[in-house]
């Protein structure tokens, strides 16, 4: 049967210019995902005017799994779909990881958790150029599909690529570039896939998996721990592992496609298309959260024990610490109550980053005398928070312990270390 040619046009001269632009951006440290969007939108890849383009019998459909990169948004890898047809000189990559900076209320949607991602399209050569350029590995799994099944996948992608369908509401755990591939395979192949899902060993949570991928990103890990609450500490099921590209890759290796009464492996072959030589190491310890917060604690300890000599500086220092904790608490509370970030709920960081601390910090600045009784109550409150730190249903970042201890030591009732002040040649007890 004669196949209809799929119309795909790429401005090759433009793509060469964009590759030079990649080198420019790398030199000046411009984030690559911005360029990635530019290539997608400027390559003019179109699936023609046909609603159901036809593939030849030599076409292949495969899943591409990309390795992590050094930035937080690259840390978990990426998944994409490759469709190649040598008879039609066709080699495309469909990518559910795109977003448009020009979409209406882009930053507002990002803050509210209503971020719209979309299906993008590029040539395979451009896709590989980007990942080679940024030294990120790419692995391929060719799917064991017959001509009708391959056509069903392409039809599904073609429909998703239409302007009215290409956008979707992104969620970093439940609806991302990896889970969309599972949706594609299940929907396009009429649920004829038998999944043998990987089962986590013991009780594994989203946060524990995040920790595995952010070993060399302590500040990124800290940000995730601050922003996401206890929902990501619940034990995961096998299907939930598919939020990671590596999880999808592993599940595909075990999956079977059912044809009649016979089950066939859905992956016919696998290959490493590019193996990155780079090993990403952590930044200097002296710029890590552990070191920075430890310095903050030591400053608090010094000023607290030397409060006679540095009472004014201690007051300002306490104000700064409690203002920071209070501001963070308000941000976390707003994200929990007024956005669509479901996993930001029940954030136990609010115990030490209490929104009321904002007013306490202002009080230290503008109120001349503070109640010793209130400071004692606050001291015991923070003592209780530190005591139950590892007993909470949410894993709190251990690097925050020195910061919370800094808040605590500033409220320490130094009754056993009675300070004295010299006033007109006489010594009088100084209340703390």
Instruction: Judge contact between 413 and 375, C-beta under 8 A.
Output: yes
* Whether residue 113 is found in the same domain as residue 30: yes
**In this structure, is residue 225 part of a structural domain?**
no
H/E segment holding residue 391: none
* Whether residue 256 is found in the same domain as residue 341: no
* Whether residue 264 is found in the same domain as residue 357: no
3-state secondary structure string, 42-95?
HCCCCCCCCCCCCCCCCCEEEEEEECCCCCHHHCCCEEEEEEEEHHHCEEEEEE
Q: Which domain holds residue 380?
A: 285-429
Tokens of 315: 């007051």
**In this structure, is residue 1 part of a structural domain?**
no
* Whether residue 50 is found in the same domain as residue 154: yes
**In this structure, is residue 233 part of a structural domain?**
no
* Whether residue 193 is found in the same domain as residue 330: no
Q: Which residue has the tokens 């995730």?
A: 224
Q: Which residue has the tokens 């590759």?
A: 19
* Whether residue 187 is found in the same domain as residue 107: yes
* Whether residue 306 is found in the same domain as residue 388: yes
- DSSP characters for 125-176? HHHHHHHHHTT--EEEEEE---HHHHHHHHHHHHHHTSTTTSEEE-BTTTBS
**In this structure, is residue 165 part of a structural domain?**
yes
The per-residue pLDDT string of the chain (432 residues; one tens digit each, 9 = 90 and over) reads 444 444 444 444 445 544 554 444 443 333 444 444 444 444 444 454 444 568 999 999 999 999 998 888 889 999 999 999 999 889 999 999 888 777 777 667 777 777 889 999 999 999 999 999 999 999 999 999 999 999 999 999 999 999 999 999 999 899 999 999 999 999 999 888 999 887 777 789 999 999 999 999 999 999 999 999 999 999 988 888 899 999 999 999 999 999 988 999 999 999 999 999 876 677 788 999 999 999 999 999 999 888 767 788 988 999 999 999 999 999 999 999 998 889 999 999 999 999 999 999 998 888 766 667 778 889 999 999 999 999 999 999 999 999 999 999 998 875 434 444 434 344 444 443
What pLDDT score was predicted for residue 26? 45
H/E segment holding residue 386: helix 372-387
* Whether residue 297 is found in the same domain as residue 270: no
Q: Which residue has the tokens 């310095």?
A: 295
Instruction: Among 219, 246, 274, give the residue marking a domain's end.
Output: 274
* Whether residue 309 is found in the same domain as residue 267: no
Tokens of 423: 């006033």
* Whether residue 255 is found in the same domain as residue 380: no
**In this structure, is residue 362 part of a structural domain?**
yes
What pLDDT score was predicted for residue 38? 43
Instruction: Judge contact between 330 and 358, C-beta under 8 A.
Output: yes
Instruction: Judge contact between 154 and 83, C-beta under 8 A.
Output: yes
* Whether residue 304 is found in the same domain as residue 368: yes
Structural domain total, the chain: 2
Q: Distance between CA 24 and CA 409 in Å, rounded?
A: 49
**In this structure, is residue 291 part of a structural domain?**
yes
**In this structure, is residue 221 part of a structural domain?**
no
Q: Distance between CA 348 and CA 359 in Å, rounded?
A: 20
CATH number at residue 124: 3.90.1720
* Whether residue 267 is found in the same domain as residue 337: no
Q: Flag whether the pTM goes above 0.85.
A: no
**In this structure, is residue 217 part of a structural domain?**
no
């Amino acid at each position: 049967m004669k196949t209809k040619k799929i119309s795909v046009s790429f401005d090759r001269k433009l793509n060469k210019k964009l590759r030079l632009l990649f080198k420019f951006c790398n030199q000046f440290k411009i984030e690559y995902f911005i360029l990635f969007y530019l290539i997608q939108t400027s390559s003019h890849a179109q699936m023609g005017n046909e609603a159901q383009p036809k593939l030849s019998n030599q076409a292949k459909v495969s899943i591409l799994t990309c390795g992590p990169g050094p930035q937080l948004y690259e840390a978990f890898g990426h998944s994409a779909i490759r469709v190649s047809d040598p008879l039609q000189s066709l080699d495309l990559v469909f990518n559910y990881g795109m977003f448009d900076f020009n979409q209406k209320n882009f930053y507002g949607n990002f803050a509210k958790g209503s971020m719209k991602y979309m299906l993008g399209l590029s040539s395979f050569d451009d896709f590989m150029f980007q990942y080679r350029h940024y030294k990120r590995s790419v692995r391929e799994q060719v799917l064991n599909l017959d001509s009708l099944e391959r056509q069903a996948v392409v039809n599904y992608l073609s429909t998703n690529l239409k302007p009215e369908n290409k956008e979707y509401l992104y969620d970093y755990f439940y609806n991302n570039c990896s889970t969309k591939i599972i949706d594609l395979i299940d929907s396009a192949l009429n649920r004829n896939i038998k999944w043998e899902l990987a089962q986590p060993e013991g009780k594994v949570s989203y946060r524990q998996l995040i920790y595995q991928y952010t070993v060399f990103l302590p500040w990124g890990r800290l940000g995730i721990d601050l922003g996401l609450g206890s929902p990501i500490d619940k034990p995961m099921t096998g299907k939930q592992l598919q939020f990671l590209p590596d999880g999808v890759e592993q599940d595909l290796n075990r999956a079977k496609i059912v044809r009649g009464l016979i089950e066939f492996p859905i992956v016919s072959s696998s290959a490493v298309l590019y193996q990155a030589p780079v090993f990403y190491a952590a930044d200097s310890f002296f710029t890590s959260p552990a070191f920075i917060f430890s310095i903050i604690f030591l400053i608090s300890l010094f000023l607290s024990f030397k409060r006679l000599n540095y009472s004014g500086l201690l007051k300002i220092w306490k104000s700064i610490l409690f203002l920071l904790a209070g501001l963070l608490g308000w941000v976390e509370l707003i994200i929990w109550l007024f956005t669509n970030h479901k996993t930001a709920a029940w954030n136990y960081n609010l115990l030490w980053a209490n929104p009321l601390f904002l007013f306490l910090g202002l009080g230290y600045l503008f109120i001349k005398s503070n109640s010793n009784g209130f400071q004692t109550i606050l001291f015991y409150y923070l003592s209780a928070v530190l005591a139950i730190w590892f007993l909470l249903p949410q894993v709190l970042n251990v690097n925050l312990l020195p910061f919370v201890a800094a808040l605590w030591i500033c409220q320490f009732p130094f009754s056993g270390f009675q300070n004295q002040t010299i006033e007109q040649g006489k010594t009088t007890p100084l209340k703390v």
